[in-house]
Amino acid sequence: MSSTLEQKIPSIEAIEEGLAGQGYISSRQIATALFLAVRLGKPILVEGPAGTGKTELAKATAGFMNLPLIRMQCYEGLDESKALYEWKYGKQLLYTQLLRDKLGEQLREAATLDEALVRLDGVDDMFFSDRFLEPRPLLRALREPIGCVLLVDEVDKADEEFESFLLEILSDYQVSIPELGTQVAKVIPIVLLTSNNTRDLGDAMKRRCLHLHIGYPDARREERIVQTRVPHVQASLLRQLVHYVQNLRTQDLRKLPSVSETIDWARALILLNASQLEPELVHNTLNVLLKFEGDMSSAGKLVGEMTHQALRESSHGMAAK
Amino acid sequence: MSGSSPFGRAAETAQSSDMLLRLLRVARGAGVRISVAEAIDAFESANAVGYADRQALKDALTLTIAKTFEDKQIFEQCFETYFKRENTALSGDLASKLPPPPTPSQGEGTEGEAQGMGGEGQGAQSALGQMLMQGDLAGLAAAMERAAEAAGATNITLFTQTNLYARRILDRMGLAELEREITRLRGEGNAELADRLAKARAALGEQARGYMERQLALFSQGTTREIREGALRQVNLSQLDRRDIQRMRQLIRDMAKKIAERYSRKRYRDRRGVLDMRRTMRRNMVFDGVPFRTVWKRERIDKPRVMALCDVSGSVANVARFLLMFLYSLHDVLADLRGYAFSSHLIDVSDILRRESSDDAITKILEAIGFGSTNYGKSLEDFCGMSLKHVNRQTTVIILGDARGNRNEPRVELMGDIFNRAGRVIWLNPEPQPLWGTGDSDMYRYAPFCSQMMTCNTIAQLERVVEELLANAR
């Protein structure tokens, strides 16, 4: 069954192209991870700083492989009934009320208590059937007939117990529901787990996953990413702003600007009709890139110098080309 | 290839899987943790991407094997060194070291001579001798690799074994035969050829030793380090060798990471029997408010707040350095950490420690505090003036020092103030217990105001203290 998925991605290059078609500029390592995930049927644990496109990767993957995306956001206190399945208690109650007469009729015909119990047993099964089952993301992912991309977002925010519960699903792609029996995945889903490293995940979890670290992209990839996201940006401005951000990341800051901030900044600069970086302009828009007061003031001092550096470097790049 | 495909392919897979196994061993030695399950995954993913594209293979293995950013860097480096070894060790070096005659660069005359010689001594010369004289580098390399494998060269653990293994390799390559041949040639009067062979043999010996040294560097890393670290854990910190400090720092970082992993989660303790009404009602709303599922009140186990007062004078300085290093690598699992350093007086060093790398930090602290004679009374007074108001029941105060105050007034009453306010006071003394209270040591005068007093002079003891600190936090 999963061979159809494999056919969709015959090679690592095909994945790179497919993702690029969705506006996601991947690196070779990212594409290799997806390639292996499908071949080995293993989940990918994606780690890296915030805003480097971890969640976006899942969306793009679902997009180019034409699979539904099922997303599960993790948080403290998330448990089975919210992640896997729940019975529709209200509906069950309502139905028993409505069907009371009918039930009464059935039971009245029963001569003995034993017989009545047997009859009730038959009804009981009806109330714990698919009709009253509310599948939550994990069960939905297992039941998708053509497979899906399951995104378990920020798994580090969930409790430790939930992490252990995930292990069963992630290693066997099956789960047992006491009333219905074992549910096995129709098609093994592509599972992406993301983590921002608010806490270290357990070893058992890491052992079962492919581990992909998405860091900050290099200048060329970042240019391509911004280019696809903000198509109107001028080539010269693009090069300058990317150089500036790349330099900024070498500074000692509390939170380094990530790709999503670069994109926001590019949009902001376009709105301000900028055609090239100027210290004044950078100073005024720095709050798009930096999110902490301390960072702002320490980077603010260097704005002039760094702007000139970015201008110089980007013009070198032009000359070289 | 298609003709002999079943055997050919089997042999090929066997070879590449051997290669992969060795690579995994190298990575393990370098400190990457790889479980058996992950090793199996590594094989599967290598098969999926194939062995031809080295970059893809590297990516694939990095994805399956290395599970943290640091591990990834280590592994990628291993990968590079490993394949560099496979490529260069065998041909490049050997070429330059072999005796001159057979190399083609010698010109036409020699070539003819070499050929003539090959024809002349073909029957007589040993296989190894022939390869040496013909400069068959590829053949020699393959032979050495085969011999190394047969000799179990990758099992090398200590540098003293280098010669032993080199000798074994040579034996297996046919050294005995070659030596017999040299003797025979001398006997026959063909001294020139005998000399050339002897020279080639020496070069080969050197090659084999070089090969083993590289093997040692690759494969013994892990074992050597384990032995070394085992010893370092027990070593007396005040007599620590300078060059071990770097290694010690790494060891502390690893230990801190392990402990932090264990305690980094928010921890709760159920208080069974006390019903959490609010959450029980919320949980049971789906049952029409009938409380099927009960939720008990839980107590959160707080992260400990720690204040560490470290004597940085003389022999205690080293222990202080490591305690501070330890605590600051643990800042994630501690709610509020303040470090103080003292000798003649006391200063707050939290900022320095937070900002600087551990080495610079210690130097800076020592600069700031100077090497005065230790005064515990004055230091306690400084501490109380500065921070006593921040000490509360959640605070653990750790004092590290030998309690030798150079006969200054110990100000025991200040210690009492701290003890009354703090949750716990732990005194760590680098001196062994029999020395406490001797000479100018005020250890037993402070004793009534300490919840715990411990000797602490090795990394192992330090680890125990820190673990205990986290486990018993309230």
Q: How confident is the model at residue B423 (pLDDT cuts 50, 70, 90)?
A: confident
- Residue bearing the bigger pLDDT, B84 or B380: B380
Q: Is residue B233 part of a domain?
A: no
Q: Is residue B262 part of a domain?
A: no
Number of inter-chain CB pairs under 8 A, A vs B: 66
Q: Is residue B229 part of a domain?
A: no
Across the range B381-392, mean pLDDT stands at: 89
Instruction: Identify whether residues B383 and B330 lie together within a single domain.
Output: yes
Sign (positive/negative) of CA torsion B437, B440, B443, B445? positive
Across the range B229-239, mean pLDDT stands at: 70
- Residue bearing the bigger pLDDT, A192 or B141: A192
Please tell me the distance from the alpha carbon of residue B243 to that of residue B235, in angstroms, as a whole number.
Answer: 13
User: Which residues from A are below 8 Å from B73, CB to CB?
Assistant: none
Q: How far is A246 from chain B (nearest CA, A)?
A: 20
Instruction: Identify whether residues B26 and B138 lie together within a single domain.
Output: no
Q: How far is B46 from chain A (nearest CA, A)?
A: 9
Q: B286: domain range? A: 269-301
B35–A33: do the CB atoms touch at under 8 Å? no
User: Which residues from B are below 8 Å from A35, CB to CB?
Assistant: 48-49
Q: How far is A287 from chain B (nearest CA, A)?
A: 24
A39–B45: do the CB atoms touch at under 8 Å? yes
Instruction: Identify whether residues B407 and B311 lie together within a single domain.
Output: yes
Q: Which residues contact A210 (CB under 8 A, 6 or more apart)?
A: A33, A36, A37, A40, A42, A43, A44, A45, B45, B63, B64
User: Which residues from B are below 8 Å from A89, CB to CB?
Assistant: 286-288
A89–B286: do the CB atoms touch at under 8 Å? yes
Place of tokens 């928010």: B266
ipTM of the complex: 0.82
A32–B41: do the CB atoms touch at under 8 Å? no
Q: Shortest CA distance to B405 belongs to which of B380, B428, B386?
A: B380
Measured between CB atoms, does B17 come within 8 Å of chain A?
no
Please tell me the distance from the alpha carbon of residue B283 to that of residue B290, in angstroms, as a whole number.
Answer: 10
pLDDT recorded at residue B102: 41
Q: How far is A185 from chain B (nearest CA, A)?
A: 21
Please tell me the distance from the alpha carbon of residue B343 to that of residue A117, in angstroms, as a whole number.
Answer: 84
pLDDT recorded at residue B94: 53
Please tell me the distance from the alpha carbon of residue B130 to that of residue B178, in angstroms, as a whole number.
Answer: 10
Nearest to B264 among A44, A200, A215 (CB): A200
| Helical segments of B264-349, H only | 277-283, 316-329
Q: Which residue of B has its CA nearest to A43?
A: B64
Q: Which residue of A has its CA nearest to B45?
A: A36
3-state secondary structure of B107: coil
Nearest to B37 among A33, A207, A212 (CB): A207
pLDDT recorded at residue B358: 62
Least confident of A126-130, B156-160, B303-307: B156-160
CB count, 10 Å around CB of A160? Answer: 14
Q: Shortest CA distance to B214 belongs to which of B89, B96, B56, B309?
A: B89
pLDDT recorded at residue B109: 36
What does DSSP say about strands A174-177 and A69-73: parallel, antiparallel, or unpaired?
A: unpaired
Q: How far is A145 from chain B (nearest CA, A)?
A: 25
All structural domains of chain A with their residue ranges: 3-80+141-213, 85-133, 219-320
- The pair of structure tokens assigned to A135 is 């599948």
Per-residue pLDDT reduced to its tens digit, B251-310? 777 777 777 766 666 566 666 678 888 888 888 877 777 888 888 887 776 677 888 888
- The pair of structure tokens assigned to B314 is 């003389």
Q: Is residue B45 part of a domain?
A: yes
Instruction: Identify whether residues B317 and B434 lie together within a single domain.
Output: yes
Nearest to B63 among A36, A89, A93 (CB): A36
Nearest to A213 among B41, B72, B286 (CB): B72
Q: Shortest CA distance to B204 belongs to which of B87, B93, B117?
A: B93
- The pair of structure tokens assigned to A216 is 């900050």
Instruction: Identify whether residues B68 and B109 lie together within a single domain.
Output: no
Long-range contacts of residues A99-105, Cβ cutoff 8 Å, at least 24 apart: none
Please tell me the distance from the alpha carbon of residue B158 to that of residue B162, in angstroms, as a whole number.
Answer: 8
Percentage above 90 pLDDT, chain B: 4
Q: How far is B330 from chain A (nearest CA, A)?
A: 13
Q: Shortest CA distance to A159 belongs to which of B298, B405, B344, B159?
A: B298
Please tell me the distance from the alpha carbon of residue A199 to that of residue B299, in angstroms, as a whole number.
Answer: 21
Instruction: Identify whether residues B44 and B156 lie together within a single domain.
Output: no
Q: Determine the residue type at A101.
A: D
Q: How far is B412 from chain A (nearest CA, A)?
A: 42
A89–B55: do the CB atoms touch at under 8 Å? no
B44–A40: do the CB atoms touch at under 8 Å? yes
Nearest to A36 among B38, B60, B260 (CB): B60
Instruction: Identify whether residues B443 and B308 lie together within a single domain.
Output: yes
Residue B289 — left, alpha, or beta (φ > 0 → left; ψ -120 to 50 → alpha)?
left
Domain boundary among B222, B251, B283: B222
Domain boundary among B253, B285, B301: B301
Q: What length is written for chain B?
A: 474
CA B3 to centroid of chain Cα atoms? 49
Q: How far is B60 from chain A (nearest CA, A)?
A: 6
Instruction: Identify whether residues B58 and B135 lie together within a single domain.
Output: no
Nearest to A12 among B41, B56, B68 (CB): B56
* Angstrom distances, CA of residue A67 to CA of A57, A83, A148, B180, B200: 13, 20, 5, 73, 66
Across the range A161-176, mean pLDDT stands at: 86
A19-33, A123-137, A155-169, range with greatest mean pLDDT: A19-33
- Name the helix (H) or strand (E) containing B128: helix B127-134
Instruction: Identify whether residues B354 and B457 lie together within a single domain.
Output: yes
CATH superfamily of A3-80+141-213: P-loop containing nucleotide triphosphate hydrolases (3.40.50.300)
Please tell me the distance from the alpha carbon of residue B121 to that of residue B130, in angstroms, as a whole number.
Answer: 9
Instruction: Identify whether residues B137 and B172 lie together within a single domain.
Output: yes
- The pair of structure tokens assigned to A38 is 């499908």
- Name the helix (H) or strand (E) containing B296: strand B296-301
Q: How far is B240 from chain A (nearest CA, A)?
A: 32
In this prediction the pTM is 0.67
Instruction: Identify whether residues B429 and B324 lie together within a single domain.
Output: yes
pLDDT recorded at residue A62: 93
Q: Is residue B237 part of a domain?
A: no
Mean pLDDT estimate for chain B: 77
pLDDT recorded at residue B394: 80
* B 197-256 → A contacts, CB under 8 A: none
Write the secondary structure of B161-195 as one string of H (helix), E (strand) and C (coil): HHHHHHHHHHHHHCHHHHHHHHHHHHHHCCHHHHH
Nearest to B59 among A28, A89, A90 (CB): A28
A39–B287: do the CB atoms touch at under 8 Å? no
User: Which residues from B are below 8 Å from A199, CB to CB?
Assistant: 264-265
Nearest to B49 among A32, A42, A207 (CB): A32
Per-residue pLDDT reduced to its tens digit, A212-236? 999 899 888 999 999 998 888 888 8
Structural domain count of chain B: 4
Percentage above 70 pLDDT, chain B: 78
Nearest to A93 among B41, B45, B288 (CB): B288
Least confident of A275-279, B223-227, B395-399: B223-227
Q: Could you give the angle at the alpha carbon of A123 between the alpha carbons of A117 and A129, nearest 5°?
A: 140
Instruction: Identify whether residues B357 and B419 lie together within a single domain.
Output: yes
Q: Is the pLDDT of residue A278 over 80?
A: yes
User: Which residues from A are below 8 Å from B55, CB to CB?
Assistant: 28
Measured between CB atoms, does B300 come within 8 Å of chain A?
no
Q: Give me the CATH number covering residue B411.
A: 3.40.50.410
Please tell me the distance from the alpha carbon of residue B128 to that of residue A110, in angstroms, as a whole number.
Answer: 98
pLDDT recorded at residue B357: 64
User: Which residues from A are below 8 Å from B68, CB to CB?
Assistant: 211
pLDDT recorded at residue B452: 86
Cα torsion for B162, B167, B172, B177, to the nearest 10°?
Answer: 160
Measured between CB atoms, does B59 come within 8 Å of chain A?
yes
Mean pLDDT estimate for chain A: 85
A207–B35: do the CB atoms touch at under 8 Å? yes
Please tell me the distance from the alpha carbon of residue A108 to that of residue B230, in angstroms, as a whole number.
Answer: 79
A47–B69: do the CB atoms touch at under 8 Å? yes
Q: Which residue of A has its CA nearest to B332?
A: A199
Mutation for testing the B interface, residue in A213, A253, A298 having most B CBs under 10 Å: A213
Q: Is the pLDDT of residue B96 over 70?
A: no
Q: How far is A271 from chain B (nearest CA, A)?
A: 37
Task: Transcribe B57-71 into DSSP letters.
Answer: HHHHHHHHH--SHHH
Residue B314 — left, alpha, or beta (φ > 0 → left; ψ -120 to 50 → alpha)?
left
pLDDT recorded at residue B371: 65
